[in-house]
Amino acid sequence: RIQGAIFDLDGVLVDTAKYHYLAWKRLAAELGFDFTEKDNEALKGVSRMASLDLLLKAGGLTFCSEKKEELAAKKNAWYVEYLQQITEDEVLDYVTDTLTRLRRLGIGLAIGSASKNTPLILEKTKLAPYFDVIIDGNCTSKAKPDPEVFLLGAKGLGYPGEECMVFEDSEAGILAANAGGMVSIYLGTSSCADADFTISNLSEFWET
Ligand code: B16
Ligand code: MG
Q: From the CA of 179, how far away is ligand 1's center (Å)?
A: 19
pLDDT category, 16, cuts 50, 70, 90? Answer: very high
What 3-state DSSP class applies to 72?
helix
Does the active-site annotation cover 194? no
What pLDDT score was predicted for residue 166? 98
What DSSP character marks residue 166?
A: E
Query: What is the pTM assigned to this prediction?
Result: 0.94
Our mutation pick for probing the ligand 1 site, out of 80, 86, 115, 184, counting the most ligand atoms within 8 A of Cβ, is 115
pLDDT category, 208, cuts 50, 70, 90? Answer: low
- When pLDDT is averaged across residues 27-32 and rounded to a whole number, the result is 98
Q: From the CA of 33, how far away is ligand 1's center (Å)?
A: 22
